A and B are shown apart, each in its own frame.
Chain A
């Protein structure tokens, strides 16, 4: 199928981030002293388990960052391809059944009927108040809709068994590979693996992947035929919404630190290295920024953007692009409010480092200030940068929800956990209550933030010289 790639602004930044990570990996591989802390991270079972979860989220987020427009079926035979005006992502393409199965309004998880009663005209002309059938959920059952529970159990069992089988197969393959590598018998290796006596925490890895596979394949079986987490007010599948929100969360968590990093590094190191009036100016700037309550600063900036967008409506071709610019701007402004902490840490560390013998030596040998800063100081503060990035990530993901509530978060048209939680306030007040969009958003957010917190802890333990 012909597609036209239309990367958004945040997409470009995500690609850039991937390149940076690839370069970092390539650079680190050949440097034993840089590799050592990472070796410590991969030996930590919690870190391994949480990084598997993070990878799953990252994969979905990455797939959701490849945006394109599909070619429309040709109306005439002119040979010109016409592209749809709608921008979708590779993830949308994969989750097509979820995306297309739009019901009328709320429906509970795994339900086959709408959540609200409606007046429906019967075949004999009478009007009855009942819960109408959903258009898509259980549609494959046709008339046997009363068997939906059995059907769901069947699909569940199918998913559970296939997931378990896949997992066993994977375990066998891993064990075989490890046995060959360690030159021991298969059974011996299996015993070691089971008891967790391997050098790297393979057992944890295997179990985490097992859980992911198991849940994944159950969802895989159920999701196309039913609304696993129900539907929201306009009938969208809640599972689809939560999965789409992953990208928003990741973008806010990662790109914010990416945009603030250059400023924090440059200002922090310059303040610590040059001291004097440069230090005074930089300290002045970050005290000013710090003393403004951050929510208010973000609010003022977002309001400004809102006005700008209202005045320049023509600059944006589609809702998606508009929402994307707002997301990017939010990352920028969050970066502005959060760089001060890192800047202060870097300044303090540089103040200490600049008095060290090797810096003095470099100075005596005639190295320029720029050279000393980039070659001698930056590599020695990188651990602070890395620890801060990982620690900051989870708080940013959580902050997104609060900002959405205050009304200065991502665009209301963009799928995000914050927007889901925000709209849930009215849903909870309904009688009977609509709880599933809220629950889904909270659970996904919790899993991502927990994994990020655990991973950040492992990274800090491995990189912080004070802990060692």
Chain B
């Protein structure tokens, strides 16, 4: 088990290097460090000296990928790519292009993101599974039919509609909670209630319908028939047998997102003015801050790979037949 985890973590390194190369080439394929300097210093009347100074301060005064002038290992290490990527593996994100410390930003912004994403995840999971089980219990009746129609309709509505509609109805018309903003500590509750509710509702259609399919597939199995044949009430069959076995396919999709909860949600964070990592990323995209985008991509990839690993481990936990080797 420990050997397996270690091997998987080693396997993550080439993937992370690949991610870095990809994002680096994408960014610098047409953009040059000179351009970046000009954007950050303001477009008009920039002296070459100022550009050189900015490049030196931010570590962009080296060749991109390969330094022909350096000697030995310096050919690789004396480059922008090496200088910007390698510290990432030690989670040293360095400074943003406008000088702020990215690592510090990430630390402070992680909590608000998590405060929004974790409740959405937990409440959502509970609600979707309950709803899907109810539909499975009433399968092939009008309740089931109406539920599926509701799910498909909810899936077809844009997520932006839930946010805009919810903000309008709850905050603007009924004045129940503030429209947007955030406070640390327990006061965060009133700011988070609406985004959480909207997040849960937004994911309801797709997830419930998917879980329902899984439950129905599981209900056609032999062991369910056996359980019914020995006289177990449907309630027990559903909750004790079907639910447990259906957890395996559900886990595949669910566990992988747990680490990425830290990354927050791009859209709803910026709509509700929550100072989390999602809105941080959007701001960075809009201001073309390469250092922040790079750091967020790296962090996202690490968390995703971690999620895949967790998924594998969770298999052994719910399904004793699976052994990692």
Write the residues of chain A forming the contact surface with B, with a CB cutoff of 8 angstroms.
284-285, 287-293, 295-297, 299-301, 303-304, 307-308, 311, 394, 398, 401-402, 405-408, 421, 424-425, 428, 438, 442, 445-446, 449-450, 453-454, 457
Contacts and interface: CB of A to CB of B under 8 A. Distances in A.
Given A284-B15, A291-B305, A304-B27, A296 B158 contact: no
B269 to A, nearest CB: 11
B77 interface: no
Interface string B14-57: 11001100110011011100010000000000000000000000
A311 B39 CA distance: 13
A394 B206 CA distance: 12
B267 A406 contact: yes
Contacts of B26: 297, 300-301, 304
Nearest to A311: B30
Interface in B137-167: 152-153, 155-161, 164
B23 A292 contact: yes
A442 B23 CA distance: 34
Given A307-B35, A402-B159, A453-B155, 4 more contacts: A284-B15, A285-B18, A288-B15, A449-B155
Interface stretch (B79-87, B98-106, B279-287): B279-287
Interface string B275-301: 000000110011010000100110011
B159 A398 contact: yes
Contacts of B35: 307
A291 B301 contact: yes
A292 B19 contact: yes
B152 A454 contact: yes
A192 to B, nearest CB: 25
Contact of B156 (A292, A402, A421, A450): A450
Contact of A288 (B22, B31, B157, B281): B22
Interface in B108-158: 152-153, 155-158
Nearest to A298: B285
A424 B15 contact: no
Contacts of B260: 293
Contacts of B285: 296, 299, 303, 406-408
Contact of A287 (B15, B159, B164, B263): B15
Contacts of A303: 27, 285, 288
Contact of A292 (B29, B155, B266, B297): B297
Interface in B149-192: 152-153, 155-161, 164, 168
A31 B16 CA distance: 47
Q: Is the interface of B mostly helix, strand, loop or mixed?
A: helix
A242 to B, nearest CB: 14
A406 B296 CA distance: 15
Contacts of B155: 394, 449, 453
Interface residues of B, number: 39
A304 B301 contact: no
Contacts of A425: 164
A400 B32 CA distance: 29
A296 B281 contact: yes
Contacts of B23: 292, 297, 300
B304 interface: yes
Contacts of B14: 284
B160 A421 contact: yes
A354 B26 CA distance: 37
A66 B19 CA distance: 40
Given A296-B281, A421-B160, A446-B157, A407 B286 contact: yes
Contact of A450 (B29, B152, B159, B168): B152
A418 to B, nearest CB: 9
Nearest to A421: B160
Shortest beta-carbon contacts, A-B, top 3? A288-B18, A450-B156, A291-B301
Contact of B267 (A299, A300, A307, A402): A402
A255 B301 CA distance: 28
Interface in B255-275: 260, 263, 266-267
Contacts of A405: 160, 267
B153 A450 contact: yes
A450 to B, nearest CB: 4
Contacts of A394: 155-156
A401 B160 contact: yes
Contacts of A424: 164
Which of A285, A291, A450 counts the most chain B CB atoms within 10 A? A291
Contacts of A308: 30
Nearest to A301: B26
A32 B244 CA distance: 42
Contact of A307 (B19, B30, B168): B30
Contacts of A401: 158, 160
A293 B30 contact: no
A309 to B, nearest CB: 9
A308 B160 CA distance: 30
A293 B300 contact: yes
A284 B12 CA distance: 10
